[in-house]
Amino acid sequence: CFICGFRAFNQTVGTYEELQTYLEGYVANLAQADEKRHAKGRSFCGQLTKEVSLEMIELKEKIAQFPPSPFQNLEVVTTLGVGGFGRVELVKVKNENIAFAMKCIKKKHIVDTKQQEHIYSEKKILEQICSPFIVKLYRTFKHSKYVYMLLEACLGGELRSLLRDRGSFDEATTKFCVGCVTEAFDYLHHIGIMYRDLKPENLILDAEGHIKLVDFGFAKKIGSGQKTWTFCGTPEYVAPEVILSKGHDFSVDFWSLGILVYELLTGSPPFSGADQMMTYNLILKGIEKLDFPKVITRRPEDLIRRLCRQNPTDRLGNLRNGINDIKKHRWLSGFNWDGLKVRKLTSPLKRELSGPTDYSYFDSYPPEEATPPDELSGWDKDF
């Protein structure tokens, strides 16, 4: 579907040739905008690369020398998280004080749930990303039972656990969280990637208390002006256009950012029913029908309502000035964006760690009850 303004329409429909010329120019502009989007991402990544410490370079070189089986060089310290896919283990290099998070994904589960494409997509996307607001992927491995992702260990804990323990965050803390997520989205969108799975569970704190996005299983690369129709995401954070199968783009991330602001300030998302269908019905009724609690003051309420507009084209972040409209919102006035980008801004969430294997800010999990079966179909041959 092609939509243009009334004035532009009058200028183009005089003849078929004029309309065709206009459309060709429109498509060319989209392609040019897409190239600029990718070029900015490459430039930003290049700037980060120049700032990488010698220690990090040596670390990557060390990992590259590991044999195909990761556990010849690594030993498990503890379990950081569990899920249907498998487990995330804190591992360290044997005889060295260097730690990583190892995502251990059950191959049989991936095949049974037909998630092979999502796993490869996550791998491919993480391999091309270099942002201080997104967890780093160092290497992947495979085994008869699992595929593995060797990731940056962020031991400050999960934002979900911290929010659970505190009940809610004050405005200053919420602004810091929103700043980190906004910078992550700015980077991702400029290289054509929509995240599609924002929630406190997917935000993790590094040793300095800075927030990083994790879990890119639902992330997808799209071009300017394109949409996708996959139904995915966490029910409380799903945008209305996803529920209605209207097609969605980068604007779903702005919707979820509004939901996150609400949850951080109150401890609960704005739309939550007894089951998924009730939650979806509440979302479709819209944020306009919602009475905000007094704990959310006028300015953050305005930001949330503008991020959660029912029409994606009306959402803050998706307007003419893009994500800069979010950064310049009145509630974020005076926020030190430059300091955040270069990690000079002190995090209100920083907690003390005794060393690179201190897992005290994570919940405890029992050992895996049963070893998964082998999966030898070969879908992971390029992993």
8 A C-beta contact, residue 216 and residue 126: yes
Our answer to whether residue 197 is catalytic in this structure is yes
Q: Which of 112, 170, 186, 197 is catalytic?
A: 197
| 124 annotated binding-site participant | no
Residue 277 neighbours by CB under 8 Å, 6+ apart:
none
Q: Binding site for ATP, residues? A: 107
Catalytic residues: 197
Q: Binding site, residues? A: 107
